[in-house]
Amino acid sequence: MAQDALTSTGESIAVPDGLAGVASDWSADKEAFGVPWGKAMMWIFLVSDTFIFASFLTGYMTVRISTTVPWPNPSEVFALTIGGQHIPLVLIAIMTFVLITSSGTMAMAVNFGYRGDRKKTAMLMMATAALGAMFVSMQAFEWTKLILEGVRPWGNPFGAAQFGSTFFMITGFHGLHVSVGVIYLSIVAFKVWRGDYARKGNYQIVEITGLYWHFVDLVWIFIFALFYLW
């Protein structure tokens, strides 16, 4: 059975019971303790994801400190030969620059979203998605290079066998998050461009998407510092 509820204007509407009622509440942008459901759920997801990444990185540090076999030198393993010059970490530096730049475009998209500028918001979100896709492409190149050089989850020619397993697990899990974020951004950007949120007069979904993307960028900073610089 449906129950009656009052809107902010005092109008009475029918609200379904059970799961249908929960779905109706979430889709109606209801608030709890002054926070919209969508933003609250994203924060809960990000907190849980933080524990997962923290566990992975803690495990990596434990393995690296405890191994008795020499750990591969990141400056050598992740170096590229360009113009006859052996340049360490050049690809990683570009990947980091691309991802940090994408945080800037995402922040600008949120700003224009709250200004109600539909076109600029959509364009900046698509630019962010394009930068994310560029990052994933460079990561795929990095994986391909290491695999061709003999790096595997169970061993590698550069030193400690645990290097391959921790590298593929941590960077792969983060790359999955970036890939999902690119799809998420593209869908929301398309709906922004189409004017779905302009009709509702609420661009809060852009900020929620931005929360996810900034989290992904922040996690990469920790991966970059612990895996590539240590």
Q: For the segment 20-69, what is each residue's pLDDT rounded down to a tens digit?
A: 766 666 555 555 556 778 888 899 999 999 999 999 999 999 999 998 89
Q: What is the DSSP string of the chain?
A: --EEEE-TTS-EEEE--HHHHHHHHHHTT-EETTEEHHHHHHHHHHHHHHHHHHHHHHHHHHHHHH-SSPPP-HHHHT-EEETTEEETTHHHHHHHHHHHHHHHHHHHHHHHHHHT-HHHHHHHHHHHHHHHHHHHHHHHHHHHHHHHTT-BTTB-TTS-THHHHHHHHHHHHHHHHHHHHHHHHHHHHHHHHHTHHHHHT--HHHHHHHHHHHHHHHHHHHHIIIII--
Task: Name the pTM for this structure.
Answer: 0.84
Spell out the domains of the chain, with CATH numbers in brackets.
1-32 (no CATH), 35-228 (1.20.120.80)
Q: Give the least confident one: 89-98, 131-140, 152-161, 163-172.
A: 152-161
